[in-house]
Amino acid sequence: MDQTFEITITSRKTLSQFLQGYTLEQLNKIPEGYNNNLIWNIGHIVVVQQMLVYKLSGLPMMISDEMVNKYKKGSAPIQEATQADVDEIKKFLFETINQTKIDLDNKIFENFQEFTTMTGFAVKNAKDAISFNIYHEAIHTGIMMGIKKFV
């Protein structure tokens, strides 16, 4: 799992570069043909990781219900993110992954609600969820690469 966490940290460093390299206005811009923006995608990535690993394990997530509602699957950027929102997402980018590694090492992920993803991958335990999360982050990073051309 060490390599899985290294890949995830590398992904999060790429996301962090978006937060550092774009203005709040650019992060919030929804280009024509898209239904979300850069900041929504990054927030979504943070939320989904927590839901995949912690919520499906029946454990408390590190993020608030408000954050979940803003960025969960099926949501959309209804209002522009504030600098406080960006700062919160930036904080959770690495904090959530570091804590997940600690919690995995401490074997707190005992129960897991199995499910099959839209792509047909069966997620049977927290380790599967952590691995699948890389794929999910890559999809959204790809979307962000498209969006950045228009902001």
Q: Read out DSSP for 67-117?
A: HHHHHSTT----SPPPHHHHHHHHHHHHHHHHHHHHHHHTT-------EE-
Percent over 90 (pLDDT), the chain: 97
13 and 97 Cβ atoms separated by less than 8 Å: no
114-130 mean pLDDT: 95
123 and 132 Cβ atoms separated by less than 8 Å: yes
- What pLDDT score was predicted for residue 120? 92
21-48 mean pLDDT: 97
- What pLDDT score was predicted for residue 123? 97
Does the pLDDT value for residue 108 go beyond 90? yes
| Single pTM value for the model | 0.95
- What pLDDT score was predicted for residue 1? 79
Q: What is the pLDDT of residues 79-101, one digit of tens each?
A: 999 999 999 999 999 999 999 99
Provide CB contacts within 8 A for 78, sequence distance 6+.
Answer: none
Cα–Cα distance for residue pair 141/144, rounded to 1 Å: 5
| H or E segment to which residue 116 belongs | strand 115-116
Does the pLDDT value for residue 7 go beyond 90? yes
CATH architecture of 2-150: Up-down Bundle (1.20)
